[in-house]
Structure 1
């Protein structure tokens, strides 16, 4: 990735996450990234392309966290616990403003829009990943258990930016433990 593209994506990611997708314009991103308009359009044909790149960037960060856990732990239960701890750590982090994907879906509700499609692709990957890990634990019904995990995550992400995240994270982690203890 070129330095200019990296600056554009880093700047856009910071602004989109903290202020919202619709409220941040291309001119501001160009200015704060210290690039020219021509440079912006060389890397991104339009704002929509940058929005999708932002979500792809966030998706890749999460995939990397999961793969790191998978590569360092043999037991799928430990991997799921590490994923849950990573989610809880994110909720507790400075400047946490909810799930980037849920926020994007709220701003782009049309299921045919490329931004919404990027959200759906990430969510399907995450659900498939959790389902696979739960199946590897011996969970008799990994599909419903994975959907439960994702719903707990979504709820924790939403509540964690509205109130004190500590009890939210504790409840989320306890819920994940409940899923891991239950075997059909």
Structure 2
């Protein structure tokens, strides 16, 4: 998406398009959803979709960024509720469990999009990599605040637990995956 398109506030029709596209992309996959379907479901013309977003790729990136913004806000609310730095680390696992139960039956939207777009240089992969780097950075920050000796190494372990829990919840159908990851993180933090 161009910087101009990203900076422009969404019109009500543009918001509807993005909301519809987000639901369809997440539930059906980005390759299974065409612009015609998005336009029809949003109650707009295909021209309106292209006028606002420019291309399907730009709409996909807007979807991924918007979903990531929602996740970050959700996670930050849960982190703000935990006082102890160690508890803040564990709160990330509580948050991902809650998120998956309410917003994520198909797992991570970033991983799902990358699975559909094989080119590692594609903007979808770059967007996903930015999101994962942010999460790893958050774990480094939390581990540093909690006073652990090697925050970067601990962050690597925590993000692997986090991402593994997401996969096992959605693909492995392990309803308690995030609880297991939290318990494992708790052991790691002792």
TM superposition score normalised by structure 1: 0.90
For 1:129, the equivalent position in structure 2 comes to 138
Unpaired segments ≥5 residues, structure 2? 1-9
Count of residues paired in the alignment: 181
Segment of structure 1 superposing worse, 87-96 or 172-181: 87-96
Deviation at 1:70, TM superposition (A): 4.1
Residue pair 1:135, 1:142 contacting (<8 A) in 2 also: yes
Segment of structure 1 superposing worse, 1-10 or 164-173: 164-173
- Alignment partners' CA distance in 2, 1:78 and 1:166: 22
SS, match of residue 111 in structure 1: coil
Residue pair 1:130, 1:146 contacting (<8 A) in 2 also: yes
Residue pair 2:93, 2:178 contacting (<8 A) in 1 also: no
Deviation at 1:121, TM superposition (A): 0.8
Pair 1:55 & 2:64 matched: yes
Residue pair 1:66, 1:83 contacting (<8 A) in 2 also: yes
For 1:13, the equivalent position in structure 2 comes to 22
For 1:120, the equivalent position in structure 2 comes to 129
TM superposition score normalised by structure 2: 0.87
Residue pair 2:79, 2:92 contacting (<8 A) in 1 also: no
Of 97, 100, 106 in structure 1, the residue corresponding to residue 106 of structure 2 is 97
- Alignment partners' CA distance in 1, 2:145 and 2:138: 11
For 1:170, the equivalent position in structure 2 comes to 179
The runs of at least 4 consecutive aligned structure 1 residues that moved more than 4 Å come to none
CA separation of 1:80/1:2 partners in 2, compared to 1, >3 Å: closer, same or farther? Answer: farther
For 2:151, the equivalent position in structure 1 comes to 142
- Alignment partners' CA distance in 2, 1:90 and 1:66: 9
Of 27, 31, 34 in structure 1, the residue corresponding to residue 36 of structure 2 is 27
Residue pair 2:30, 2:113 contacting (<8 A) in 1 also: yes
